[in-house]
Amino acid sequence: MKISLAVEALAALAQESRLSVFRVLVQAGKGGLAAGVLGERLAIPPATLSFHLKTLTHAKLIKSRSEGRFVIYSANYAEMDKLIAYLTEHCCAGDTAQCAPLKKC
C-alpha cells in the first residue's frame, strides 16, 4: 500500500461519524446494509450520511452495489486488511512473537 492511500484511509476514519459507519459495516459482514438502515442505526440524516459514505468510498474502505431501489454498502475487507498490514509491517522491531495475533472472523 502506498503511503498516500494509507493517509487517505486514515483521514477518512479520523471523523467520528465515518468511523462509526465503517465499524457498523465491518460488523454487518459481506452482505452489508442499505443506506437507509445504516442511517437509522446511527441516527445520521440522509444528506450527511451520503457525504460520509462518499468519503469512505473514495478512500476505498467501503463499496456499494445496487439491489433494486436500494444501495447496499459493505466494508471493503481487502483494503482494510491492506491498511492493517501497512500499519503493522515493521511491528515489534521485527520480533513477531511480541505482536498480538489478529482476530479472524
**96 assigned to some structural domain:** no
What CATH number has the domain bearing residue 28?
1.10.10.10
**22 assigned to some structural domain:** yes
All three cell numbers of 104, joined, read 479472524
Domain that holds residue 78: 3-91
Point out which residues pair with 33 in neighbouring strands. Answer: 73
- Determine the pLDDT at residue 1: 80
Rounded to whole angstroms, the Cα distance separating 80 from 97 reads 23
- Determine the pLDDT at residue 96: 67
E strand residue ranges, the chain: 33-34, 62-67, 70-75
Domain count of the fold of the chain: 1
**18 assigned to some structural domain:** yes
Query: Does residue 93 register a pLDDT over 80?
Result: no
**102 assigned to some structural domain:** no
Instruction: List Cβ neighbours of 73 (8 Å cut-off, separation of 6 or more).
Output: 25, 32, 33, 34, 35, 38, 53, 62, 63, 64
Model pTM? Answer: 0.87
Segment 43-71, tens digit of pLDDT: 999 999 999 999 999 999 999 999 999 99
**70 assigned to some structural domain:** yes
> 83 near 89, Cβ under 8 Å?
no
